[in-house]
């Protein structure tokens, strides 16, 4: 049991550390983009549009030689017809010839010399790897991972390969890109042909170039190669983006960007790469959440370790007594135990890390969707150093397990040579109760102080931890009183229940740790469930209100939807949007109609006088901002902000008239009246309208004639709600999973306590059996004792759970995402948590109780003499 | 009357088998006290466990007259036992539970009081358990028992606030509280000093005599054994001598 609990703790901790490291690397990779001095990129305007090699060639012809083509694909890697790694690897192709010519370009160099001190940093690793021969660059740990799955790995040859579908199409790699930009490319296309192998009809194997390693974290999980090599592997792929590589700053850069923006064809757009603080904050909150998860799991596992150590010491107590009688000192016995504990921890850490590597890959696809939705990060495979991982996991595990050993050992040791009189015992209990009360008040004050003053996310998490500790202390201080209250409620006729309730009181003193584990699990369960429930309720009610019209058409092309609708007697409301940079962060400017229907649909977090606010808004003097904007810049109603006008782009002053809810939006947003927007400048993506069946049918036919797939792009309110609810439920899979895991761990902790206390409780149970109480009744009574303890823990956990959800919604959520929502206390939800928690715990602790009851009565009856 | 007929019991000790009781037979008269003596391993406690239906013999019968056992329905066994006796070795688990609850009382060497409830609650426990099955609680009888055993001043205390002798007296009161027909005592004075042993033994035997409760007392003490109506000596699971 000891090994198992340490193994679970080590495995959980290292899994989280691996996911954390991978996510961090993924973020670093995404933000550094392999090449330095990339502030903008050209990408297709819509998901339907494509970025072709001809676009690239044309733009470079126009003189934009700062643009570097980038193509990306992800695929499985094979060796000797076998997949070497379960996860897909991102393969990135970069136009290295263009990049190298840019580095040698005088303009770039000048800018570099004046602006930077470290020249080698200017184009990242690619500047030092000229791709004179076909190679793929990977991080050393990725190569290690790949070679681990390939038994006959030989890095001197093109060992790895990919499998692609043979579409029998003309290889397009030799098109405009090669004609215009790759004249000097020394890669021989005939060589490509030689390295391709038709495996079976419909499937083609293509060898990867020789892999060389480069120690640069920005490589992450990517395999980077020259774009020529990339197109040999993926001849039909489009370009992903064109990176604008320039060391220019300020007006010069702005001038270049403006010129490029004007030169772009209609289907392309120029976007900023710098997500700035926004991503940083989300990343921090993600890492903080992961850390909190890891610590929660680790702490609860330590509770099991304490119980397991107790069990171990109880079993060894006769040996310890003999050792003491033979003259062995307490220290010698203690050191022996510590050495044994460290050895077990060492083995558990090694096995745990090994399992966690597999586990992180296994859970990655499930966790991916949630984390990507919430934070936009990839998880699963990271270039984590095994040594560093081992040192972290082993260090924390050893400290935790030694701490877990000391308390039970001391208690056992004292029990060996001292007995307490009843009076001393009662006085001790009183003293402990008083101390727990004091601790509880102290923790609560600390927690409230931090919650009211702190602004850093980690401090808020500390406040949450102290709040839970306060609850634990309060529970331990009041267990006997609460059990007495339950005792008084039971009618005297239920004599066995009354005795069991009294025994629960004694049990509470012996199962403090397990009860605390259950309390923590129950508090976090109630807190998280209320938070999720409030979020779900707020989101659905907000969506139902915000989805004012019956239908929503998602379309970003140039077809005049408004006039088509008008022909079919439908009035559509177009939503214009501008994405701009405000104080270094992305800002969304959206249009909002001012008809009564839309006025009723907007849900405000804060507004003073609704009529005045709407009038000012309609007159283009006021704006509505979302919570994310208001909280980030600490703005309130009637504050004035200066933002670019949606049409003229001139800085214009607007008065904030209302702050709206905008759940789930990671961006700051301003709503302006429709009249402020110019269709020639602003993007339009959503058209909303009401329509009867007949008009809708005709409108759909008209749209289909224009090539718009209404099956995919036209949704009604119910469909949108269903999609949102599905997305919402997916987002909280992790929360639900974590809740169940913490409950299971708490239940295991209690089950350990049951095993530990079984010997103590056996004479009393056997006494009842000797009185003629049936086996099933004694089992039920034993369960009833734990039921009472859990029920009281749940009752205490309820106010703390509500406080926790309050903190999560109004403090932590606000800090992490800059939006909040009303807390809804749903009694049914709390009762549901009660039912689930009690069921899980009682089911698990019933196992050792039932197992013990299977023993023949005569074996246990000897305990009575 | 309690008839023990050719009882044998063997325990497995690893690979070896040890015969604890070997074709043991004797009779215990209703309302009388019997002491059972013998060396360690002679089968005293095993016999007591069999009498309490806590265990079953490998062979033999333990016949209980209906007079001793008014609460157990004898209909099921009436064909086999025309004399209205039942064989407790054939009890199902629920019959054995019912037998222990209603017909017998047990006193152990360790006092085995429930330490979380008061002395009074401990004494009332078997009676309250029987009350669930509809039996009336005779409060005046219990008060008389408490007085007789000299524990009346301790009734509100918790068991761990009493001395060993006091605790054993409470255990005897508890074992007799529901007016059992048969009281089984397994070395009840084994944890007490000589003085307390004498007091508790006399109290136990005298109280059973007054209540006309059949007493089977396992003891190592000749002095205690001499106080009973009849003395039985066991050696290697066989009855070797009887006295009284």
Q: What is the arithmetic mean of pLDDT over A123-135?
A: 57
- Higher pLDDT, residue A13 or A789: A789
Question: pLDDT tens for residues A637-647?
Answer: 999 988 888 88
Inform me whether the pLDDT recorded for A109 exceeds 70: no
Cβ–Cβ contact B52 with A under 8 A: yes
H or E segment to which residue A141 belongs: helix A140-148
Give Cβ neighbours of residue A608 (< 8 Å, ≥ 6 apart): A637, A638
H or E segment to which residue A130 belongs: none
Residue B40 CA, distance from chain mean position? 19
Nearest-Cα distance to chain B for A499, in Å, is 7
Nearest-Cα distance to chain A for B12, in Å, is 13
Question: pLDDT tens for residues A88-105?
Answer: 677 888 888 888 777 666
> What pLDDT shows up at residue A169?
41
- Whether the model clears a pTM of 0.90, i.e. scores above it, the answer is no
What does the buried/exposed string (b/e) look like for A276-301 if buried means 16 or more CB atoms within 10 Å of the residue's CB?
eebbebbbbbbbbbbebbbebbbbbb
Residue A226 CA: distances (Å) to CA of A139, A245, A265: 16, 17, 26
Pick from A771, A856, A865: CB nearest B110: A865
> What pLDDT shows up at residue A104?
65
Q: Are B129 and A772 inside 8 Å of each other by CB?
A: yes
Q: Is A199 helix (H, G, I), strand (E, B) or coil?
A: strand
H or E segment to which residue B240 belongs: strand B238-243
> What pLDDT shows up at residue A439?
92
Assigned token pair, A821: 């929502």
Q: Are B114 and A858 inside 8 Å of each other by CB?
A: no
- pLDDT bin (cut points 50, 70, 90) of residue A384 is low
Contacts of B131 in chain A (CB under 8 A): 493
Question: pLDDT tens for residues A698-733?
Answer: 888 888 888 888 887 888 888 888 887 776 676 666
- Nearest by Cα to A745 from A586, A413, A516: A516
Q: Which residue of A has its CA nearest to B55?
A: A858
Contacts of A502 in chain B (CB under 8 A): 116-117
Q: Are A495 and B94 inside 8 Å of each other by CB?
A: no
Contacts of A498 in chain B (CB under 8 A): 117
Is-contact B183 B175, C-beta < 8 A?
Answer: yes
- pLDDT bin (cut points 50, 70, 90) of residue A799 is very high
Cβ–Cβ contact A426 with B under 8 A: no
- Nearest by Cα to A597 from A575, A573, A577: A573
Is-contact B203 B175, C-beta < 8 A?
Answer: no
Question: pLDDT tens for residues A427-461?
Answer: 777 888 888 999 999 999 998 888 888 777 778 87
State the Cα–Cα distance between residues B200 and B214, nearest whole angstrom: 17
State the Cα–Cα distance between residues A630 and A626, nearest whole angstrom: 6
Residue B154 CA: distances (Å) to CA of A189, A207, A427, B166: 103, 92, 21, 9
Assigned token pair, A763: 């004479």
State the Cα–Cα distance between residues B182 and B136, nearest whole angstrom: 19
Inform me whether the pLDDT recorded for A557 exceeds 60: yes
> What pLDDT shows up at residue A299?
67
Residue A65 CA: distances (Å) to CA of A111, A242, A260: 15, 11, 11
> What pLDDT shows up at residue A62?
84
Inform me whether the pLDDT recorded for A221 exceeds 60: yes
Q: Are A771 and B98 inside 8 Å of each other by CB?
A: no
Compute the half-sphere exposure of residue B94: CA atoms within 13 Å on the CB side of its CA.
Answer: 3
Q: What is the arithmetic mean of pLDDT over A778-797?
A: 89
Nearest-Cα distance to chain B for A504, in Å, is 9
Is-contact B100 B178, C-beta < 8 A?
Answer: no
State the Cα–Cα distance between residues A527 and A468, nearest whole angstrom: 11
Phi, psi for residue A617 in degrees, rounded to 5: -65, -45
Burial grade of B90 (CB within 10 A; 0-12, 13-18, 19 or more): middle
State the Cα–Cα distance between residues A460 and A464, nearest whole angstrom: 6
The percentage of chain A sitting over the pLDDT mark of 70, rounded to a whole number, equals 75
Nearest-Cα distance to chain B for A515, in Å, is 20
Is-contact A22 A379, C-beta < 8 A?
Answer: yes
- Higher pLDDT, residue A504 or A763: A504
Q: Is A603 helix (H, G, I), strand (E, B) or coil?
A: coil
State the Cα–Cα distance between residues A750 and A510, nearest whole angstrom: 11
> What pLDDT shows up at residue A119?
36
Compute the half-sphere exposure of residue B229: CA atoms within 13 Å on the CB side of its CA.
Answer: 16
Assigned token pair, A829: 């939800």
State the pairing for strand pair A89-94/A222-226: parallel
Q: Are B54 and A498 inside 8 Å of each other by CB?
A: no
- Nearest by Cα to B22 from B2, B40, B46: B46
Q: The sheet that has B33-38: what strands, in order across it?
A: B104-107, B182-186, B214-218, B33-38, B230-235, B238-243
State the Cα–Cα distance between residues A310 and A513, nearest whole angstrom: 11
Nearest-Cα distance to chain A for B135, in Å, is 13
- pLDDT bin (cut points 50, 70, 90) of residue A113 is very low
Cβ–Cβ contact A770 with B under 8 A: yes
Cβ atoms within 10 Å of A625's Cβ, excluding its own: 28
Pick from A499, A773, A864: CB nearest B112: A864
Q: Are A770 and B55 inside 8 Å of each other by CB?
A: no
Is-contact B42 B223, C-beta < 8 A?
Answer: no
Q: Which residue of B has its CA nearest to A423?
A: B161
Q: Which residue of A has its CA nearest to B187?
A: A865
Burial grade of A635 (CB within 10 A; 0-12, 13-18, 19 or more): middle
Cβ–Cβ contact B117 with A under 8 A: yes
Give Cβ neighbours of residue A154 (< 8 Å, ≥ 6 apart): none
The percentage of chain A sitting over the pLDDT mark of 90, rounded to a whole number, equals 7
Nearest-Cα distance to chain B for A419, in Å, is 13
Q: Are A770 and B52 inside 8 Å of each other by CB?
A: yes
For chain B, which residues score pLDDT lower than 70? 14, 66-83, 243-244
Q: Are A498 and B117 inside 8 Å of each other by CB?
A: yes
Residue A578 CA: distances (Å) to CA of A268, A585, A645, A727, B39: 15, 14, 10, 25, 100
Is-contact B168 B191, C-beta < 8 A?
Answer: yes
Q: Is B52 helix (H, G, I), strand (E, B) or coil?
A: coil
Q: Which residue of B has its CA nearest to A506?
A: B116
Contacts of A491 in chain B (CB under 8 A): none
- Nearest by Cα to A275 from A608, A788, A699, A668: A668
The 3-state secondary structure of A398-464, one letter per residue: HHHHHHHHHHHHHHHHHHHHCCCCHHHHHHHHHHHHHHHHHHHHHHHHHHHHHHHHCCCHHHHHHHH
Beta bridge partners of B16: B13
Length of chain A: 865
Q: Is B6 helix (H, G, I), strand (E, B) or coil?
A: strand
Q: What is the arithmetic mean of pLDDT over A225-236?
A: 83
Q: What is the ipTM of this complex?
A: 0.83
Cβ atoms within 10 Å of A189's Cβ, excluding its own: 14
State the Cα–Cα distance between residues B47 and B34, nearest whole angstrom: 13
> What pLDDT shows up at residue A117?
36
State the Cα–Cα distance between residues A632 and A635, nearest whole angstrom: 8
Question: pLDDT tens for residues A303-355?
Answer: 767 777 777 777 777 777 777 777 777 778 778 888 888 888 888 888 888 88
Cβ–Cβ contact A491 with B under 8 A: no
Contacts of A858 in chain B (CB under 8 A): 49, 54-55
State the Cα–Cα distance between residues B31 and B37, nearest whole angstrom: 20
DSSP symbols for A268-324:
EEEEE---HHHHHHHHHHHHHHHHHHHHHHHHHHHHHHHHHHHHHHHHHHHHHHHHH
Cβ–Cβ contact B166 with A under 8 A: no
> What pLDDT shows up at residue A471?
92
> What pLDDT shows up at residue A15?
76
> What pLDDT shows up at residue A786?
85
Q: Are A767 and B93 inside 8 Å of each other by CB?
A: no
Nearest-Cα distance to chain B for A774, in Å, is 6
Q: Give, to the nearest 10 degrees, the angle between helix A512-546 and helix A775-807.
A: 50
Is-contact A581 A759, C-beta < 8 A?
Answer: no
Assigned token pair, A71: 């193509």
Cβ–Cβ contact A688 with B under 8 A: no
- Nearest by Cα to B104 from B135, B130, B74: B130
Instruction: Quote the radius of gyration of chain B (alpha carbons, Å).
Output: 18
Cβ pairs bridging A and B (under 8 Å): 74
Q: Which residue of A has its CA nearest to B56?
A: A858
Cβ–Cβ contact A419 with B under 8 A: no
State the Cα–Cα distance between residues A843 and A504, nearest whole angstrom: 18
Nearest-Cα distance to chain A for B206, in Å, is 23
Mean pLDDT computed over every residue of chain A? 76
Give Cβ neighbours of residue A91 (< 8 Å, ≥ 6 apart): A72, A73, A74, A75, A136, A162, A222, A223, A225, A230, A233, A234
Cβ–Cβ contact A859 with B under 8 A: no
- Higher pLDDT, residue A742 or A769: A769
Nearest-Cα distance to chain A for B55, in Å, is 6
Cβ–Cβ contact A490 with B under 8 A: no
Pick from A506, A771, A774: CB nearest B116: A506
Q: Which residue of A has its CA nearest to B57?
A: A858
- Higher pLDDT, residue A31 or A217: A217
Q: Is A127 helix (H, G, I), strand (E, B) or coil?
A: helix
- pLDDT bin (cut points 50, 70, 90) of residue A813 is confident
Q: Are A493 and B93 inside 8 Å of each other by CB?
A: no
> What pLDDT shows up at residue A156?
65
Question: pLDDT tens for residues A564-603?
Answer: 888 888 888 888 888 777 776 778 889 998 888 888 888 8
Pick from B100, B124, B161: CB nearest A771: B100
Cβ–Cβ contact B154 with A under 8 A: no
Nearest-Cα distance to chain A for B126, in Å, is 7
> What pLDDT shows up at residue A416?
55
Q: Are B55 and A495 inside 8 Å of each other by CB?
A: no
Q: Are A774 and B94 inside 8 Å of each other by CB?
A: yes
State the Cα–Cα distance between residues A589 and A651, nearest whole angstrom: 13
């Amino acid at each position: 049991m000891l090994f198992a609990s340490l193994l679970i703790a080590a495995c959980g901790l290292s899994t989280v550390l691996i996911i954390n490291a991978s996510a961090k690397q993924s973020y670093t990779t995404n933000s550094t983009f392999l090449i330095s001095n990339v502030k903008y990129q050209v990408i297709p305007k819509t998901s339907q549009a494509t970025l072709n090699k001809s676009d690239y060639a044309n733009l470079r012809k126009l003189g934009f030689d700062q643009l570097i083509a980038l193509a990306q694909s992800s695929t499985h890697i094979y060796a000797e017809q076998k997949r070497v790694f379960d996860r897909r690897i991102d393969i990135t192709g970069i136009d290295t010839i263009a990049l190298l010519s840019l580095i040698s370009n005088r303009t770039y160099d000048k800018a570099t010399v004046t602006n930077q001190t470290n020249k080698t940093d200017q184009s990242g690793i690619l500047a030092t790897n000229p791709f004179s021969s076909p190679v793929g660059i990977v991080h050393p740990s990725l190569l290690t991972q790949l070679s681990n799955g390939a038994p006959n790995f030989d890095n001197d040859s093109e060992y790895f390969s990919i499998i692609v579908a043979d579409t029998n199409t003309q290889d397009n790699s030799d098109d405009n890109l090669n004609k215009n930009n790759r004249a000097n490319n020394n890669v021989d296309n005939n060589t490509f042909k030689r390295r391709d192998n038709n495996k079976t009809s419909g499937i083609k194997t293509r060898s990867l170039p020789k892999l060389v390693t480069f120690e640069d974290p920005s490589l992450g999980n990517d395999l980077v190669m020259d774009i020529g090599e990339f197109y040999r592997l993926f001849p039909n792929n489009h370009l992903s983006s064109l990176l604008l590589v320039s060391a220019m700053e300020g007006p010069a850069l702005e001038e270049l960007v403006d010129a490029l923006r004007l030169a772009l064809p209609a289907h392309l757009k120029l976007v900023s790469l710098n997500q700035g603080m926004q991503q940083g904050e989300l990343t921090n909150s993600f890492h903080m959440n992961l850390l909190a998860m890891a610590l929660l799991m680790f702490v609860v596992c330590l509770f099991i370790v304490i119980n397991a150590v107790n069990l171990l010491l109880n079993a060894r107590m006769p040996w310890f007594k003999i050792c003491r009688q033979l003259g062995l000192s307490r220290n010698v016995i203690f050191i022996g135990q510590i050495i044994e504990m460290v050895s077990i921890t060492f083995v558990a850490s090694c096995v745990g890390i090994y399992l966690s590597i597999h586990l992180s890959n296994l859970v990655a696809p499930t966790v991916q969707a949630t984390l990507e939705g919430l934070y936009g990060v990839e998880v699963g495979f990271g270039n984590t150093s095994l040594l560093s991982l081992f040192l972290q996991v082993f260090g924390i595990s050893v400290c935790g397990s030694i701490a877990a050993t000391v308390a039970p050992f001391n208690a056992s040791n004292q029990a060996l040579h001292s007995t307490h009189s009843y009076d001393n015992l009662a006085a001790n209990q009183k003293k402990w109760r008083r101390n727990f009360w004091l601790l509880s008040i102290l923790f609560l004050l600390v927690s409230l102080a931090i919650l009211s003053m702190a602004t850093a996310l980690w401090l808020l998490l500390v406040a949450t931890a102290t709040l839970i500790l306060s609850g634990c202390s309060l529970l331990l201080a009041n267990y006997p009183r609460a059990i007495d209250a339950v005792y008084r409620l039971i009618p005297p006729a239920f004599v066995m229940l009354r005795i069991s309730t009294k025994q629960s009181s004694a049990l509470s003193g012996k199962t403090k740790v397990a009860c605390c584990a259950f309390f923590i699990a129950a508090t976090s369960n109630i807190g998280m469930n209320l938070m999720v429930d409030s979020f779900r309720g707020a989101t659905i009610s907000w969506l139902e209100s915000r989805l004012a019209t019956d239908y929503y058409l998602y379309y970003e092309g140039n077809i005049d939807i408004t006039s088509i609708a008008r022909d079919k007697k439908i009035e559509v409301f177009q939503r214009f949007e501008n994405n701009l940079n405000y104080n270094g962060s992305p800002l969304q400017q959206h249009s909002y109609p001012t008809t009564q229907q839309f006025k009723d649909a907007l849900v405000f977090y804060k507004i003073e006088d609704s009529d005045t606010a709407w009038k000012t808004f309609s007159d283009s003097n006021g704006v509505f901002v979302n919570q994310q904007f208001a909280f980030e810049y600490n703005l309130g109603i009637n504050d004035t902000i200066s933002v670019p006008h949606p049409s003229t782009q001139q800085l214009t002053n607007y008065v904030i008239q209302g702050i709206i809810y905008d759940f789930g939006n990671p961006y700051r947003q301003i709503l302006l009246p429709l009249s402020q927007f110019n269709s020639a400048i602003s993007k339009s993506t959503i058209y909303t309208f009401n329509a009867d069946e007949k008009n809708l049918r005709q409108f759909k036919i008209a749209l289909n004639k224009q090539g718009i797939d209404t099956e995919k792009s036209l949704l009604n309110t119910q469909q949108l709600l269903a999609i949102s609810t599905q997305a919402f439920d997916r987002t909280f899979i992790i929360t639900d999973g974590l809740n169940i895991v913490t409950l299971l761990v708490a239940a295991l902790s209690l089950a350990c306590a049951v095993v530990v206390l079984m010997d103590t409780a056996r004479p009393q149970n056997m006494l009842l059996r000797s009185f003629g109480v049936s086996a099933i009744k004694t089992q039920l009574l034993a369960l009833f004792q734990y039921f009472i303890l859990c029920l009281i823990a749940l009752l205490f956990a309820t106010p703390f759970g509500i406080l926790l959800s309050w903190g999560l919604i109004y403090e932590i959520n606000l800090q992490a995402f800059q939006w909040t929502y009303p807390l809804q206390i749903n009694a049914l939800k709390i009762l549901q948590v009660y039912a689930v928690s009690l069921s899980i715990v009682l089911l698990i602790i019933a196992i050792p109780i039932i197992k013990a009851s299977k023993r023949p009565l005569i074996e246990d009856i000897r305990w009575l003499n | 009357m309690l008839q023990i007929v050719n009882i044998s019991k063997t325990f497995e000790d690893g690979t070896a088998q040890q015969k604890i009781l070997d074709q043991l037979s004797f009779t215990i008269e209703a309302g009388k006290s019997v002491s059972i003596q013998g060396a360690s391993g002679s089968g005293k406690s095993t016999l007591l466990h069999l009498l309490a239906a806590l265990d079953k013999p490998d062979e033999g019968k333990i016949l209980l007259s209906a007079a001793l056992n008014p609460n157990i329905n004898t209909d099921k066994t009436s064909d086999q036992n025309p004399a209205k006796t039942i064989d407790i070795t054939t009890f199902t688990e629920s019959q054995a539970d019912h037998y222990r609850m209603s017909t017998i009382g047990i006193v152990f060497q360790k006092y085995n009081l429930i330490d979380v409830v008061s002395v009074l609650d401990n004494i009332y426990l078997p009676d309250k358990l029987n009350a669930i099955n509809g039996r009336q609680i005779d409060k005046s009888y219990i008060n008389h028992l408490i007085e007789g055993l000299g524990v009346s001043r301790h009734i509100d205390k918790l068991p761990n606030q009493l001395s060993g002798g006091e605790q054993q007296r409470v255990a005897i009161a508890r074992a007799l509280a529901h007016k059992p027909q048969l009281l089984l005592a397994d070395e009840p004075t084994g944890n007490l000093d000589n003085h307390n042993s004498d007091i508790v033994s006399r109290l136990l035997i005298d109280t059973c005599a007054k209540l006309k409760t059949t007493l089977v007392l396992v003891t190592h003490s000749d002095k205690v054994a001499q106080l009973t109506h009849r003395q039985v000596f066991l050696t290697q699971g066989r009855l070797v001598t009887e006295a009284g």
